[in-house]
């Protein structure tokens, strides 16, 4: 992710979307990004890989990403080309894992009631502002702190640490 603004269409899911339906345990050993992407959300929505091509923003309800602490779940969504996840609130370990793999994620009260499947959204991660272009509405999410924006800009925590180590060696 190299920018702070994201635009795309909404794919809606409900409350309590757990990591087992985001990525089944039988795919945890998969390391190929394309293969992980093919299995993203298959426990909940087998047509997800096709839908995400035109709707790269997931809108969820309460406790999105609950369940096990598998980092592969947000990674599979990122490889499937999801550009951002918006939800009422996230399971804390999923939230952190998403940031670690470089997948933007914002909490916004009421988002699941306000956004419809297919709505065109524009998101400013730094300000936490979400514009629903389809409905002419604006919503306020919790903005991401600068240090998280920096991790996302670097492509995730591993790349962020590598960048800082390289810059420290060159001084």
Domain of 34? 5-169
Residue-wise pLDDT for 88-120, tens only, equals: 999 999 999 999 999 999 999 999 999 999 999
Among 109, 115, 104, which Cα is nearest to 88's? 109
pTM over cut 0.85: yes
* Rounded Cα gap, residues 37 and 23, in angstroms: 9
Rg (C-alpha) for the chain, rounded Å, is: 16
| Phi, psi values for residue 46, rounded to 5° | -60, -20
CATH number at residue 116: 3.20.19.10
Structurally, how many domains does the chain consist of? 1
pLDDT grade for 2, boundaries at 50, 70 and 90: very low
Q: What's the helix, strand, coil split of the chain in %, to 5?
A: 35, 20, 45
pLDDT grade for 153, boundaries at 50, 70 and 90: very high
pLDDT grade for 3, boundaries at 50, 70 and 90: low
pLDDT grade for 1, boundaries at 50, 70 and 90: very low
Return the structure tokens found at 36. Answer: 């992980």
Residue-wise pLDDT for 8-47, tens only, equals: 999 999 999 999 999 998 998 888 999 999 999 998 999 9
Alpha helical stretches, state H, the chain: 19-22, 33-39, 48-51, 72-79, 92-101, 111-114, 146-153, 157-169
Residue-wise pLDDT for 113-132, tens only, equals: 999 999 999 999 999 999 99
Q: Which carries the bigger pLDDT value, residue 169 or residue 118? A: 118
């Amino acid at each position: 992710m190299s920018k702070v603004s994201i635009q795309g269409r909404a794919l809606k899911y409900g409350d309590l979307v757990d990591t087992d339906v985001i990525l089944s345990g039988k795919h945890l050993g998969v390391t190929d990004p394309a293969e992980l992407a093919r299995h993203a959300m298959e426990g909940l929505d087998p047509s997800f890989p096709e839908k995400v091509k035109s709707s790269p923003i997931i809108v969820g309800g309460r406790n999105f990403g609950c369940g096990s602490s598998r980092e592969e779940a947000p990674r599979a969504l990122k490889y499937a080309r999801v550009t951002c996840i918006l939800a009422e609130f996230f399971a804390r370990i999923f939230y952190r894992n998403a940031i670690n793999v470089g997948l933007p994620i914002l909490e916004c009260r009421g988002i699941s009631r306000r956004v419809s499947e297919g709505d065109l959204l524009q998101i400013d991660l730094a300000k936490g502002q979400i514009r629903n272009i389809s409905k002419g509405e604006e919503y306020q999410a919790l903005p991401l702190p600068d240090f998280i924006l920096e991790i996302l800009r670097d492509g995730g925590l591993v790349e962020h640490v590598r960048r800082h180590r390289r810059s420290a060696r060159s001084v």
